[in-house]
Amino acid sequence: MLSRFNLVVRPCIYMCRCVHTKEKGKPLMLSPRTNKGMAFTLRERQILGLHGLLPPKIETQDIQALRFKNHIEKVHDPLMKYVYVMGIQERNEKLFYRILLDNIEELLPIVYTPTVGLACLQYGQIFRRPKGLFLSIMDKGHIKSILDNWPDTNVKAVVVTDGERILGLGDLGVYGMGIPVGKLCLYTTCAGIDPRTCLPVCIDVGTDNEMLLKDPFYMGLYQKRDRSHRYDELLDEFMEAVVTKYGRNTLIQFEDFGNKNAFRLLKKYQENYCTFNDDIQGTAAVALAGLLSAQRVTNKPISEHKYLFLGAGEAALGIAGLIVLAMKEAGMPEKEAQNKIWMFDKHGLLYQGRSEPIEDHQEAYAHPAPDHVGKTFLDAINILQPTAIIGVAGAGRLFTKEVISAMGNINERPIIFALSNPTDKAECTADEAYTLTEGRCLFASGSPFRPVTLPDGRVFYPGQGNNAYIFPGVALAVILIGVRNISSQIFLEAAKALAEQVTNDELAQGSLYPPLSKIREVSIKTAVKVTEYLYANNLAFEFPEPKDKEGFFLSRVWKTDYESFLPDIYDWPESATKLPNL
């Protein structure tokens, strides 16, 4: 009897304890982390209590991905595509990221810009299951205990918004949760960061959007934004609660805060926390990378260009600051570099002594007024004669036919960046830029545009200046190398890494960025470049330093293929598990 117990009962106890999940039966299929759909093997179905709960066919993930592709091709409305794709994330996480990787060029504009903007606008209508952590001003004093409700304890990256400035759409309050969710999808898709280590957060302090305050489907607080000292106290409590629970080197990415809070909070927290603002620093890096690519075409370094920004908010100032840092690295004094950058906001040209207000963080780019100021953006172009115009105002088609033609008349190879998104907020289309400059412009956009064919048969493939080229790779390096603070120099290194990956053939086709199909490779190489800088400057905390840094990151990438819920003992041949004759 003892030998029979040892042969039968004890192995059974061992096998039950070795099953990777505590759940059995239908709960396995209801959790996106454990659900494999019809890919559960026969033994998994039998041992985990799933037998009979699924059709008898055993499917591969390849077949599941093919079923998705067949279905998505029949869905033409972008918002409905978003709902369908994100619905897969709610049911089967491994399959979700597999299909994103397989169809990155088609689906990146769906799960993030520009379609995520539509999803945020319709958040109350398309809401299915809550994703992320919702904190409100009413929770002040209890943030730590609410963080304890989040089921994953090994959080390495947090993306947080207060919903005040969602893309170019304005104050969407709690509907802004779509942005942190989308950003963290790209952490995993583009850089292979484990989704279990990612936490999206929306901080609800109210909204000044009157339409939302009257909307019965709105899901946040029905109150005006709290702009009192309680706002800062809530943010302070949140930041400290995160690092207390998850560690001092937890990455905290700020996303879509209003201009004043964005700059103020970045300055307040960046020395004491591992934090950055993607609207300021990520946008800056991807724009600078485009300019570094452009200089290979113009044979003119960025220090010899004159830049005119349409917009003077966080994106414009972030890009301008990183351009200045790049010029300083090339040997140009800071003030001389700043003098090459002008800005045009809703009040007109930014210059010293104008009657309209100038914010403290704009003063570096408020230069002495030119002899003739003018009133329009076209006037500013004709007066200043810039070699590059960069649109980040989110105000729509302000790069008019006259503006683009003027840039083409002034410059042999004009640089035209229409970076505002979503698409209807872009300053111009790719077709307008290439056509009106006869294909001479160096163009980049914030939203994707289709290839442009000119009357002479030349085809141009406009590059999208998407922050997804930057922040996933930076995050991968920061998380795995254990960085405590994120400086602007890190984003300069990321910009250089991105520009280096653009081939001459891609430049010849009009693209200043690598194709999105290479986004995983781009992110890994960006992480390597950032990591080299971190170790060289004694800013890394992961030791010993990996000799093969690319191999190090590739070995840590989260895999989308299904794992077995059963230990190796279940894979023994049938003869090995038969009882002997006793």
Residue 88, domain extent: 2-104
Output the CA–CA distances (angstroms, integers) from residue 35 to 244, 414, 439, in the order listed.
Answer: 32, 52, 50
> Residue range 205-229: average pLDDT?
97
Q: Which of 94, 131, 183, 525 is catalytic?
A: 183
Residue 551 belongs to a domain: no
Residues 309 and 429 in one domain: yes
- Tell me, what's the pLDDT at 21? 55
Task: Kindly state whether residues 328 and 455 are assigned to the same domain.
Answer: yes
Number of Cβ within 10 Å of residue 13's Cβ equals 10
Out of 411, 431, 466, a domain closes at: 466
Q: What is the pLDDT of residue 10?
A: 41
pLDDT at 546: 96
> Within this chain, do residues 138 and 263 fall inside the same structural domain, yes or no?
yes
- Percentage, residues of the chain above pLDDT 70: 93
Mean predicted confidence (pLDDT) in 321-336: 97
Band of residue 568 on the pLDDT scale cut at 50, 70, 90: low
Domain boundary residue among 444, 466, 488? 466
Mean of the per-residue pLDDT values for the chain? 92
Share above pLDDT 90 across residues of the chain, in percent, rounded to a whole number: 87
Query: Is pLDDT at 572 greater than 60 in this prediction?
Result: no
140 among known catalytic residues: no
Q: What is the pLDDT of residue 576?
A: 42
Chain center to CA of 514? 17
The C-alpha atoms of residue 463 and residue 472 are separated, in whole angstroms, by 18
pLDDT greater than 70 at residue 452: yes
Predicted confidence band of residue 373 (pLDDT cuts 50, 70, 90): confident
CATH of the domain at 241: 3.40.50.10380
User: Which pLDDT band holds residue 421 (cuts at 50, 70, 90)?
Assistant: confident
How buried is residue 542: exposed, middle or buried, by Cβ count under 10 Å (0-12/13-18/19+)? middle
Mean pLDDT of 180-207: 97
Mean pLDDT of the 416-426 span: 92
Encode pLDDT of 274-303 as tens digits. Answer: 999 999 999 999 999 999 999 999 999 999
pLDDT of residue 5: 40
State the average pLDDT over residues 251-255.
Answer: 98
> What's the CA gap between 50 and 195, in Å, rounded?
26
Residues 413, 391, single domain; the answer is yes
What's the whole-number mean pLDDT along residues 94-98?
A: 98
Sign of the alpha-carbon dihedral angle for 370, 375, 376, 382: negative
Q: Using one digit for the tens of pLDDT, what is the confidence trace for 32-74?
A: 999 999 999 999 999 999 999 999 999 999 999 999 999 999 9
Check if 112 is active-site.
yes
- The b/e string for 405-425 (b: 16+ C-beta within 10 A; e otherwise) is ebbbeebeebbbbbbbbbbeb
State the pLDDT at residue 209. Answer: 98
Q: Domain check: are 230 and 264 in the same one?
A: yes
- Looking up residue 423, the CATH number of its domain turns out to be 3.40.50.720
Mean pLDDT of 569-574: 47
- What distance in Å separates the CA atoms of residue 276 and residue 160, rounded to the nearest whole number? 11
Average confidence (pLDDT) over 483-494: 96
* Residue 7: per-residue pLDDT: 39
- CA distances (Å), origin 162, targets 156, 206, 215, 222, 232: 20, 9, 19, 15, 12
Catalytic residue among 81, 82, 94, 112: 112
Taking alpha carbons only, the member of 195, 145, 148, 177 closest to residue 31 is 195
What is the count of structural domains for the chain?
Answer: 4
- Which of these ranges, 197-201, 277-281, 392-396, 402-406, has the smallest mean pLDDT? 392-396
In Å, how far from its chain's centre is CA 483?
Answer: 19
Is residue 382 predicted with pLDDT exceeding 70?
Answer: yes
pLDDT tens for 339-363 read: 999 999 999 999 999 999 898 889 9
212 in the same domain as 159: yes
Say yes or no: 406 and 455 in one domain: yes
Q: Do residues 224 and 362 share a domain?
A: no
Report pLDDT for 565: 82
Question: Which of 273, 300, 330 is the last residue before a domain boundary?
Answer: 273
* For residues 527-556, average pLDDT: 96
CA distances from 61 to 36, 102, 480, 571 (A): 8, 12, 29, 20
Q: Is the pLDDT of residue 570 over 50?
A: no
- Supply the pLDDT for residue 11: 40
- On whether both 217 and 131 belong to a single domain, the answer is yes
